[in-house]
């Protein structure tokens, strides 16, 4: 069967790096397997580019805050899909593109919702409120489960917000670039200084405040350390205030994956402590670079580490500081981190997704 896969990624902005990475790897894998592929995303202006990894369509879309752009006209997307004639659509959006999934169902086209985030956790982290979030999100998810042929989640944590009895859930973990992120890029220097690293967007939903506060807590306890923070975002001033006199350096945006991989490999421990992360590509990238990771005890990131290469704690500076000190005593943790990352390769993820697209396309054609 000749698969024609349409990938739709909405709500794209500066904090969607993990989603972008996943879509790029999947799209490349689809094309290498012989599928035709189109990618539709919001952009500053309309454009269509033919590439080696399929057709890239950017649709002019407004900014909706935080640097994000959102396609608000699903009918324009449908017009493009009618010309492409996909066998399946893969949608990374839970809001304005719902009419596209309904169009797919009416036209016997398989539909996949790729659930990159938990809306309840993301809204709680952004607003600092939990009351009233669950009820509204629950109603939306019941609607989604009735509309899509399959819902892909990347972790048990991500699956937990769906009703697994009525939702066609498929759990497919993401992969990591094991060649770019590698321990050979750097050898940490054992000079008695505990070297911590945090890489990610400096915005509230990524919890950089908690990572910085953890390092500040360790400094307050008299631990000799250095923390390097890589990434940019709207809350830098707040983070600098939290750091206080602790030896924490904010380096800003890192241009290039190899450079970021080297910085990760130089560290003793990575802090990736967002309690609402559905998967945690940043965790896998650190592990692949041979750097053990401390995470929060909730969220998908917790599922990526075990006792040989990581520790976890309640999402408080004190509990996470304890976890850092405990992890620093674990023998063989760097080699264990790399072995753990090797369980998550992109080839396996891509093959699972191709199998799903093939099954849905075949099922629709036979209906």
Tens digits of per-residue pLDDT, 241-257?
A: 999 999 999 999 998 89
| Contact residues for 165 (Cβ-Cβ < 8 A; gap 6+) | none
Find the helix packing angle between 208-220 and 236-243, rounded to 10°.
10
User: pTM of the full predicted structure?
Assistant: 0.90
133 pLDDT band (50/70/90 cuts)?
very low
| Across 10-37, average pLDDT | 83
The pLDDT, as a whole number, for residue 17 is 65
Could you check whether 4-175+345-366 and 183-341 share the same CATH topology?
yes
In the predicted structure, residue 86 carries a pLDDT above the cut 50: yes
What are 274-299's pLDDT values in tens digits? Answer: 998 888 999 999 999 999 999 999 99
Distance in angstroms (rounded) separating the CA atoms of residues 274 and 118: 12
Place of tokens 């369980």: 343
Fold of 4-175+345-366: Rossmann fold (3.40.50)
3-state secondary structure the chain: CCCEEEEEECCECCCCHHHHHHHHHHHHHHHHCCCEEEEEEEECCCEEEEECCEEEEEEECCEEECCEECCCCHHHHHHHHHHHCCCEEEEECCCCCHHHHHHHHHCCCEEEEECCCCHHHHHHHHHCCCCCHHHHHHHHHHHHHHHCCEEEECCHHHHCCCCCCCCCEEECCCCECCCCCCHHHCCCCCCCCEEEEEECCCCHHHCHHHHHHHHHHHHHCCCCEEEEEECCCCCHHHHHHHHCCCCEEEEECCCCHHHHHHHHHHCCEEECCCCCCCCCHHHHHHHHCCCCEEEECCCHHHHHCCCCCEEEECCCHHHHHHHHHHHCCCCCHHHHHHHHHCCCEHHHHHHHHHHHHHHHHHHHHHC
Q: What are the extents of the domains in the chain?
A: 4-175+345-366, 183-341
Choose among 318, 22, 30: nearest CA to 176: 22
Q: What is the pLDDT of residues 57-68, one digit of tens each?
A: 999 998 876 667
- Mean pLDDT of the chain, nearest integer: 90
The pairing of beta strand 88-92 with beta strand 4-9 = parallel
Find the range with the poorest average confidence among 96-105, 123-132, 159-168.
123-132
DSSP string, 112-132: EEE--S-HHHHHHHHHS--TT
pLDDT tens digits, one per residue of 322-343: 999 999 999 999 999 999 999 9
| Tokens read off for 178 | 């094991």
Topology adopted by domain 183-341: Rossmann fold (3.40.50)
What pLDDT band is residue 15 in, cutting at 50, 70 and 90? very low
Alpha-carbon gap, residue 292 to 300, rounded angstroms:
16
Please tell me which residue, 19 or 105, carries the higher pLDDT value.
105
pLDDT digits (tens, 9 = 90+) for 160-219: 878 766 778 999 999 999 999 999 999 888 899 999 999 998 988 889 999 999 999 999
């Amino acid at each position: 069967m000749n698969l024609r896969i349409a990938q739709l990624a909405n709500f794209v902005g500066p904090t969607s790096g993990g989603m972008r990475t996943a879509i790029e790897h999947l799209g490349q894998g689809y094309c290498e397997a012989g599928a035709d592929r189109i990618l539709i995303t919001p952009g500053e202006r309309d454009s269509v580019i033919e590439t080696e990894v399929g057709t890239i369509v950017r649709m002019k879309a407004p900014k909706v805050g935080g640097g994000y752009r959102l396609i608000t006209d699903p009918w324009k997307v449908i017009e493009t899909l009618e010309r492409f004639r996909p066998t399946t659509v893969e949608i990374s959006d839970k809001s304005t593109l719902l009419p596209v999934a309904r169009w797919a169902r009416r036209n016997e086209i398989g539909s996949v919702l790729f659930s990159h985030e938990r809306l309840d956790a993301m809204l709680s982290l952004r607003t600092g409120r939990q009351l009233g979030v669950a009820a509204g999100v629950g109603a939306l998810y019941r609607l989604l489960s009735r509309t899509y042929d399959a819902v892909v989640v990347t972790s048990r944590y991500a699956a937990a917000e769906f009703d697994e009895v009525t939702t066609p859930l498929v759990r497919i973990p993401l992969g990591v670039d094991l060649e770019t992120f590698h321990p050979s890029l750097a050898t940490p220097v054992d000079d008695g200084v505990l070297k911590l690293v945090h890489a990610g967007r400096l915005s509230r939903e990524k919890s950089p405040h908690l990572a910085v506060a953890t390092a500040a807590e360790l400094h307050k306890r008299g631990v000799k350390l250095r923390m390097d923070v890589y990434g940019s975002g709207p809350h830098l001033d707040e983070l600098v205030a939290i750091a206080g006199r602790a030896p924490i350096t904010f380096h800003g945006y890192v241009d290039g994956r190899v450079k970021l991989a080297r910085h990760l490999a130089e560290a003793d421990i990575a802090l990736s402590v967002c309690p609402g992360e559905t998967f945690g590509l940043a965790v896998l990238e650190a592990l692949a670079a041979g750097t053990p990771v401390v995470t929060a005890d909730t969220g998908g990131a917790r599922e990526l580490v075990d006792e040989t290469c990581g520790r976890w704690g309640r999402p408080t500076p004190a509990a996470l500081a304890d976890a850092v000190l405990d992890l620093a005593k674990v023998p063989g943790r760097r080699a264990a981190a790399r072995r753990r990352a090797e369980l998550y390769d992109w080839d396996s993820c891509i093959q699972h997704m191709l199998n799903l697209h093939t099954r849905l396309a075949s099922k629709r054609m036979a209906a």
